[in-house]
Amino acid sequence: MSVSPAVPSTHASQPNRGWYKRNEIAITPWLFLLPAMIFFAVYVIVPIGQSFWISFHEWDGLGEKAWVGTANYERLLGIGDQNMDRKFTVSFWNNLKWLVLYLLAIPAGLFIALFLNQTVTGIRFYKSMFFFPFVISQVVVGLVFSWFYLPREGLLNAVLAIFGAGPVNILGDPTLATYGIIAAGLWPQTAYCMILYLTGLNAVDPEQVEAARLDGAKGHKMLWYVILPQLKPATFIAFVVTIIGALRSFDLISVMTNGGPFGSTRVLSFYMFEESLSEFGFRMGYGAAIAVVLFFLMLGFITYFLYSMYRDEKGAH
């Protein structure tokens, strides 16, 4: 059954419109996308491919690239008759420490959010003050914590002395230094997770909470069975940003220990930088190979994140 539209179609009344006009709906999105796509392709997509390519070469960044096949990877992973690159092993294990310990930001953030989710006077001020370490640059956070850890001038040892402990030289001790840096990183990261959870808690359905209360649920049972399921989107984002943040850790290490003492605080991202732009000469090929390994480490997580987002996207339509 065909009914003519109430509004006369403008398309039919202009038979001689230009090619652009006729295809406007199809072309416009591409015109709007073009600048962003060019920028993104030139600076992000193509370089990923180039890094793979460079990782099969020996290159000082200036002269000709010399093809070496998989030699860089063999040296890195110790394939054949050589040992695994010791610096790489240290970096890799430190990366794992970062990944695991950095996730503590999520429960810590949730804890602070629960503590602050009240409506007393001045609570807005407290929320902002708890959050604002996140806004400070990692370089300054690194400096602040390295002064906090100073064996003589640092406040940490002064506090420890009150409890009769210490003094410790955290950043000078190869077994402690990495943990000291991770603690510094946890500070802003916890603030970030806190704000995610505060927003999430704000949107928790009050009727469900009341209903659960009438059923006698309270305390951790309420938290686990009623509140946390509703905080799932916040937890997902907290998880994404924390994982990405852990694997990107570079600024803090560079500022606080510069990889030391005795190379004990290196992570892959730092080691890669060191190899590529070190004072001992630019080993871009080897650096690129480390970056590729880091990329694959991250790819697992990226795939999972994208898959979850894709599922939501499909569910929304």
Partner 1 sequence: MFPTPLEKTSRQWQISYQVLLPIMLIIWLLPLIAVANFSIKPESDFVNGNYWGIPSSFDAFSNYGKVFFESNMPRYLLNSLFITIPTVIGAVALSCMAGFALGIYKFRSNLLIFFIFIAGNFVPFQILMVPVRDLTVNMNLYDTKTGLVLFHIAFQTGFCTLFMRNFIRALPFPLIEAARVEGIAEWKIFLYVVLPLMKPALAALAVLIFTFIWNDYFWAVVLTQGPTAQPVTAGITEFNSQFRAAYHLMSAGSIVAALPPVAMFFLMQKHFIAGLTLGAVK
List the one residue from 15, 18, 29, 63 that touches partner 1 (CB under 8 A).
29
**Could you tell me the smallest distance in angstroms from the CB atom of residue 101 to partner 1?**
18
Site for partner 1 in 132-151 (CB under 8 A): 132-133, 135-140, 143-145, 147-148
Site for partner 1 in 203-222 (CB under 8 A): 203-204, 206, 209, 218, 222
Q: Is 91 in the site for partner 1 (CB under 8 A)?
A: no
Binding span for partner 1 by CB under 8 A among 67-75, 81-89, 169-177, 265-273: 265-273
List the one residue from 185, 200, 245, 263 that touches partner 1 (CB under 8 A).
200
List the one residue from 101, 250, 260, 264 that touches partner 1 (CB under 8 A).
250
Q: Is 201 in the site for partner 1 (CB under 8 A)?
A: yes
Q: Which stretch of DSSP H or E encloses residue 26?
A: helix 24-40
Site for partner 1 in 8-27 (CB under 8 A): 10, 24-26
Q: What is the identity of the amino acid at 227?
A: I
Site for partner 1 in 140-199 (CB under 8 A): 140, 143-145, 147-148, 152-155, 158-159, 187, 192, 195-196, 199
Q: Is 130 in the site for partner 1 (CB under 8 A)?
A: yes
Q: Is 43 in the site for partner 1 (CB under 8 A)?
A: yes
Q: Is 118 in the site for partner 1 (CB under 8 A)?
A: yes
Which residue bears the tokens 């599922």? 311
Which structure tokens are listed for 77?
């992973």
Q: Dihedral, CA atoms, 282, 86, 296, 94, nearest 10 degrees?
A: -110
Q: Is 66 in the site for partner 1 (CB under 8 A)?
A: no
- Give the C-alpha distances (Å, rounded to integers) separating 137 from 115, 133, 251, 267, 312: 26, 9, 9, 20, 33
- Give the C-alpha distances (Å, rounded to integers) separating 54 from 61, 212, 296: 10, 59, 16
The burial class, CB within 10 Å (0-12 / 13-18 / 19+), for 284 is buried
Q: Which residues contact 54 (CB under 8 A, 6 or more apart)?
A: 65, 284, 285, 288
Strands (DSSP E) contained in the chain are 57-58, 66-67
Nearer to partner 1 (CB atom), residue 33 or residue 84: 33
Binding span for partner 1 by CB under 8 A among 85-93, 164-172, 173-181, 303-311: 303-311
Phi, psi of 117 (to 5 degrees): -80, 65
List the one residue from 1, 3, 12, 44 that touches partner 1 (CB under 8 A).
44
Distance CA 281, CA 28 (A): 49
| DSSP of 241-266 | HHHHHHHH--HHHHHHTTT-STTTT-
Q: Is 226 in the site for partner 1 (CB under 8 A)?
A: yes
The length of the chain is 317
Nearer to partner 1 (CB atom), residue 154 or residue 263: 154
Q: Is 244 in the site for partner 1 (CB under 8 A)?
A: yes
